[in-house]
Amino acid sequence: MKFAIFGNNFQAHKLLSAEHLFYLLGKMNAEIYVCRCFYDFLKKEDNFRMPSDINVFDGNDFNADMVISIGGDGTFLYAASKVGDKNIPILGINTGRLGFLSDVYPEELEEAFDEISNQHYKVEERSVLQLITDEPKLQEEPFALNDIAVMKHDSSSMISIYTTVNGAYLHTYQADGLIVSTPTGSTAYSLSVGGPIMVPNAKTIALTPIAPHSLNVRPIVMCDDWEVSLRVESRSRNYLVAIDGRSISCEEGIQLTIRRAPYSIKVVKRCNHIFFNTLRQKLMWGADRRQ
């Protein structure tokens, strides 16, 4: 098999996990390709034993049977942005903290790669959002696996977000921002501001306001083949658009249209992985301290 590897460049104390990963791939006689920024990071570490037969690639100039992300969910999102519409499944190895997307732990690596060698794993399809606008800065990387958010630029007054769905007026949000989330992103930023959890294979998106100035404005879930359009007004004349956390400053007057992307991201999961177990273990879902 051929593997393309993306990694976190800020976790030198967890290099043993990367060494173990390369060892296991070597046992599989795999072809190993590493993104240049991660390769340069590893080369700088004196104690890291780099295999001699590694290939290096830049950006999205690669092809593989499987992509491996070693880090946290942020690293996984970065890998997904480079995979794009290549239709390559991504395995997330969690050396970060929570790890909803990167949910294979270092101590599970041997079992996980035995299963991969035997083709004993499952692949989940995850929907992606696409932002369409005339603003060139936003069209450089317009796709999001988690969410697309508009937010006020600074700590001053809230913004007004005129929102339509399939051309029909929905609401003008007076808030610090608005998050448009996929099911994958429903356990990320959206959840932290009171949004709903959606199971990963749901064909839905959620609109979740950030600190709305009204008691009767709540998150809303809708079909993911519907189109959401936003127009933002701000006293400071500018605001932020965040695409999977990549923030770009924008000025008033541009139209933002969000729709389902024409491709999906494939996520590798072990066969024993159950989403509800993840909720209980990582979010303490339903935990009752009285017991």
Active centre residues (catalytic): 73
Spatial contact of 151 and 239, defined as CB atoms under 8 Å apart: yes
Give me the residue label for tokens 């880090």: 71
> CA 56 from chain center: how many Å?
24
Residues of 190-204 as b/e, b for ≥16 C-beta within 10 angstroms?
Answer: bbebebbebebebeb
- The stretches of the chain forming alpha helices (DSSP H) are 15-27, 36-44, 73-83, 109-117, 136-139, 189-192, 275-283
CA 177 – CA 246 distance, rounded (Å):
15
DSSP 273: -
